[in-house]
Amino acid sequence: MSRLLSRRHLAAAAAARRSAPLACVSRWLHTPSFATVSPQEVSGSSPAEVHNFVQGSWTASTNWNWIVDPLNGEKFIKVAEVQGTEIKPFVESLSKCPKHGLHNPLKAPERYLMYGDISAKAAHMLGQPEVSDFFAKLIQRVSPKSYQQALAEVQVSQKFLENFCGDQVRFLARSFAVPGNHLGQRSNGYRWPYGPVAIITPFNFPLEIPLLQVMGALYMGNKPVLKVDSKVSVVMEQMLRLLHECGLPAEDMDFINSDGITMNKLLVEANPKMTLFTGSSRVAEKLAADLNGQIKLEDAGFDWKILGPDVQEVDYIAWVCDQDAYACSGQKCSAQSVLFMHKNWSSSGLLEKMKKLSERRKLEDLTIGPVLTVTTEAMTEHMNNLLKIPGSKVLFGGEPLENHSIPKIYGAIKPTAVFVPLEEILKSGNFELVTKEIFGPFQVVTEYSEDQLELVLEACERMNAHLTAAVVSNDPLFLQEVLGRSVNGTTYAGIRARTTGAPQNHWFGPAGDPRGAGIGTPEAIKLVWSCHREIIYDIGPVPKNWALPSAT
């Protein structure tokens, strides 16, 4: 089936190349060898197809789910979504993997080296300009963001793969030994896989999140089934083809497209030993209950930034605020949702500069664009609710984007900032509303005076998701105070602090929740994708003078 399908694909691709006009031919010439789509060619008249991969083969399904182009509403990608009645091969595939995994420190250790080699090849391939360009453009088609933002995602993924070349995968599974109490006894601590696992990832980082998580799972010896939001799964489908070309064994992981209900059914039936979920808190809580807590989460964040009393580098900080709140149209789980500004900044011109920067953003280059999970009406309604709070006002934005063909199901709004007084934010009737995460280009701004830092810290304490944060100050005592009394998992501190743009070398993940997952670093991989196993060797000899003790 696999060969058949991929041959069929290649034939179709070749036919497309042959019949294409000259401009298209040159685009196809630049399409990488593993690819079955061309980012420039995908359209209503030439739709892309996304398949599933299970038990070593590419498969279709009885049902195609059409994805619409977020920029014009045209049906442009059809995804073979597995139905509830079709999950058997996926259940069987996962159950083929034992709990002790495909490899572990005492079984098939050569596979750690194999994954070092696969990573080296994949890093090299992804580093080729035509390949990174291919992925950046494909990301742009399904999760509209500027070319630079899309490319950054590819570069983070490429560097991550470089980090785990050579011996670096086996070093992830480094064990330790502690001397025992008597001759022949010692304890060894090992990083052990979970075996069959599942990964569910969202639309906003179509490559970075699924790739980093799936590779981490594989490195530690697990067999994952991966489900990416169907709106963007074409990107990871193409990446999987690249990985196969780089030597990823076909049986090591499965790739499924389905709706949430079918995925839930699969999880309940296949019973993976660990599920990693990245996405909304609502779904996260449901999964945690359905899967009896066998889950790790990287859920939403109402991420905050505090500007300290020392006003400096206003232009730079305005630019970072603009990037943090509005790059990718605010659709990063790390996006700045609230800005606490010390009163010293009021006369610095910061807010005017932020307004000017937000006005540079335009749909043509996707520096602002469609919001995939919140409609324009919902964002406007949220803003109007905030405006009912005494003392609140629109600082800038607040209007729908104009002259576009973004379909109604998606949102389209100008970068928006709403001011709400700090005392009002803290009132119990308002707090939930003000700290509701809007996954779009939307932030709340407030101000605090010297004696109100307590209130700011109280607000941060009362929030219930603690992903990223920024403390913008070079005052060491201020930093110490704020950092010592907060919990966010990825916190930037200092005058250049930001909330977004964590590369592969910064742990990225929430803190303050025992289910919190991380992504990117060796620590994140070890924590999420392996558990501790201790083997206590006690091989003797039994002392010559040993005598039977009395009963205890």
Ligand X SMILES: N[C@@H](CCC=O)C(=O)O
Residues binding ligand X (CB under 6 A) = 205, 208-209, 298, 332-334, 500-502, 508, 519
In a 13 Å sphere around the CA of 175, the CA atoms on its Cβ side amount to 20
> To the nearest whole angstrom, how small is the minimum distance from the Cβ of residue 102 to ligand X?
25
Q: Which C-beta is closer to ligand X: that of 287 or that of 519?
A: 519
Q: How far is the CB of 115 from ligand X (least distance, A)?
A: 21
DSSP 254: E
Helices 147-163, 129-142: crossing angle, 10 deg rounding: 130
- Considering beta carbons, is residue 209 or 456 the nearer one to ligand X? 209
Number of other CB atoms surrounding residue 372 within 10 Å: 22
Q: Say which of 208, 298, 437, 447 is annotated catalytic.
A: 298
Told to judge if 333 belongs to the known catalytic residues of this protein, a careful annotator would answer yes
- The 3 state secondary structure assigned to 281-343 is HHHHHHHHHHCCCCEEEECCCCEEEEECCCCCCHHHHHHHHHHHHHHHHHCCCCCEEEEEEEH
Is there a contact between 172 and 166 (Cβ–Cβ < 8 Å)? no
Tokens of 323: 């990037």
Q: How far is the CB of 518 from ligand X (least distance, A)?
A: 9
CB of 508 to ligand X, least distance (A): 5
Distance CA 460, CA 467 (A): 11
Which amino acid, 434?
V
CB nearer to ligand X: pick between 334 and 376: 334
CB 465 within 8 A of CB 489: no
Do 197 and 272 form a contact (C-beta atoms < 8 A)? yes
Of 306 and 519, which has the nearer Cβ to ligand X?
Answer: 519
For 495, the token pair is 């005058």
CB of 318 to ligand X, least distance (A): 20
Residues 142 and 170: beta-carbon distance below 8 Å: no
Instruction: Given the residues 333, 437, 447, 460, select the one marked as catalytic.
Output: 333
Provide the token pair at 198. Answer: 């599942």
Q: CB-wise, 270 or 335, nearer to ligand X?
A: 335
Nearer to ligand X, 86 or 322 (CB): 322
Q: SS3 letters for 434-493?
A: HCCCCCCCEEEEEEECHHHHHHHHHHHHHCCCCCEEEEECCCHHHHHHHHHCCCCCEEEE
DSSP 112-131: HHHHHHHHHHHHHHHHSHHH
Nearer to ligand X, 310 or 513 (CB): 513
Please provide residue 56's backbone torsions phi and psi, each rounded to the nearest 5 degrees: 85, 5
Q: How far is the CB of 436 from ligand X (least distance, A)?
A: 20
CB of 502 to ligand X, least distance (A): 3
Q: How far is the CB of 485 from ligand X (least distance, A)?
A: 24
Euclidean distance between CA atoms 166 and 169, whole angstroms: 7
Look up residue 234 and give its two tokens: 């074409």
Q: Smaller CB distance to ligand X: residue 209 or 374?
A: 209
Q: How far is the CB of 334 from ligand X (least distance, A)?
A: 4
CA distance 195 to 252: 11
Using DSSP, state whether 85 is helix, strand or coil. helix
Q: Which residue number, 194 or 205, has a Cβ lying nearer to ligand X?
A: 205
24 is annotated as an active-site residue: no
Q: How far apart are CA 204 and CA 516, in angstroms?
A: 19
Distance CA 228, CA 300 (A): 17
Residue 105's CB: how many other CB atoms inside 10 A? Answer: 20
Q: Compute the chain's Rg from CA coordinates.
A: 25
CB 375: neighbour CB atoms within 10 A? 16
CB of 222 to ligand X, least distance (A): 19
Q: Give the nearer residue to ligand X in terms of CB position, either 238 or 504.
A: 504
Q: Which residue numbers are catalytic?
A: 298, 333
